[in-house]
Amino acid sequence: MEQSNELAGRVKNEEISLKELILKVQEWWRYLLSKWIVIGIFGLVGSGIGLTLALFSKPRYVGDLTFVLEESNKSGGLASYAGVANQLGIDLSSMGGGTSGLFSGDNVIEFLKSRLMIEKTLLTPINVNGKELSLADYYIEFNEMRKGWGPRLSNIHFPVNPDRKKFTLLQDSILNSMYEMLIKGNLQIAKPDKKLSFIDVQTISRNELFSKIFTERLVDEATTFYTMMKTRRSKANVDILQRKADSIETLLNRKTYSAAVAQDLNMNPVRSQASVGTELVLRDKVVLQTMYQEVMKNLEVSKLTMSQETPIIQIVDTPILPLKKEKLGKTKGILIGGILGGFLTIIVLLVRRIYKKIME
């Protein structure tokens, strides 16, 4: 019996609590309905603000570029040449592979957003009305950033392709500020589909030319840097083999001329001693020919390997003028402004009523 009474009491309390909640909601609803004029007025004010912003806001231009990275497979046919190459001081087995993960997965997104790539891009040239200046100076110019700077900063400029190590502390600080602004407000990099290798790069700014050029230059700088890092070991081996081939070719040419001279001088076939010099020169020539053939063989293998390791960056879509505009429309501004104005008014009214009830 006691358990039945306790259970009945709990059910009754829950029913009372639910009833109180419904009554409270109805009370608050009636209160808000009584304030519909105030809510409507501030909703109209919000719509007016939204319309004003739509009319006077400047359009933003979207520079959109899509590319796909195709990795090339490294050839496995180097084993037959590894022995000869090692004798010449060339390590064919270690070629490539040092930076294979740089553009893998989502690494490419962070790489494109890195300060190194963005600074390199900002310091590239752009031609505006026949005047060449860096993208950094152009960004400062159309954003009118110098208006907020003091006399100490107003004369700071960023020359095209400068020596980065010679930058002053102020130049470093301004470049870092531009980097933060671009990352937070201008640059968007994403993979539209996680299953695919397509990368979409967007630069959104108030200047159409900057949006286009910056997007193209950023991808160009990144792919150039990546290709250089990807093939640097192969290129080092190719350079070494090329130098050896050139050196052996020079020696071989000299021995060829020396052999011809020795044969011309040895006009008396009866004197066997006179032919010794000719034989030695010819022997050296044969040795050099053999070395030259092997070096050239390894050089061609190294060049083939380097070409196979060089990634293919395929541009799918590029930004083409005129660019797409992003601008707050009148209808959208009115709706968003009205909804925000009404919502904020409701929040203020509710907080005000709760405060009054607490203070009573």
Per-residue pLDDT of the chain in tens (360 residues, 90 and over written 9): 555 555 555 544 555 577 777 888 888 888 888 888 888 888 888 888 887 877 777 888 999 999 887 655 544 444 444 444 554 455 544 444 444 455 665 678 888 899 999 999 999 999 988 889 999 999 999 988 888 787 777 788 898 878 888 888 888 988 999 999 999 989 999 888 777 778 899 999 999 999 999 999 999 998 888 877 776 666 667 677 777 777 777 776 776 766 666 655 555 554 444 455 566 666 666 777 777 777 777 777 777 766 666 667 788 888 988 888 887 777 887 888 889 988 898 898 888 888 887 876
Whether residues 130 and 242 share a domain: the answer is: yes
Q: What is the pLDDT of residue 48?
A: 87
Tokens 């829950």 sit at which residue? 14
Whether residues 272 and 345 share a domain: the answer is: no
- Whether the CA torsion 173, 174, 177, 183 is positive or negative: it is negative
Whether residues 22 and 89 share a domain: the answer is: no
Whether residues 41 and 80 share a domain: the answer is: no
Ramachandran sector of residue 65 (left: φ over 0; alpha: ψ -120 to 50; beta: rest): beta
Alpha carbon of residue 112 to chain centroid: 1
Q: What is the pLDDT of residue 310?
A: 63
Q: What is the pLDDT of residue 201?
A: 92
Whether residues 66 and 195 share a domain: the answer is: yes
Whole-number Cα distances in Å, 249 to 91, 112, 172, 218, 290? 22, 44, 50, 43, 11
Whether residues 244 and 337 share a domain: the answer is: no
Structurally, the chain folds into a number of domains equal to: 2
Whether residues 316 and 167 share a domain: the answer is: yes
Q: What is the pLDDT of residue 125?
A: 92
Whether residues 212 and 350 share a domain: the answer is: no
Whether residues 36 and 84 share a domain: the answer is: no
Q: What is the pLDDT of residue 100?
A: 47
pTM attached to this predicted model: 0.64
Whether residues 177 and 65 share a domain: the answer is: yes
Whether residues 198 and 213 share a domain: the answer is: yes
Whether residues 242 and 223 share a domain: the answer is: yes
Whole-number Cα distances in Å, 78 to 84, 96, 144, 282? 11, 13, 58, 32
* Residue numbers of the domain that contains 280: 60-324
Tell me what percent of the chain is helix, strand and coil, each rounded to the nearest 5. 70, 10, 20
Q: What is the pLDDT of residue 278?
A: 61
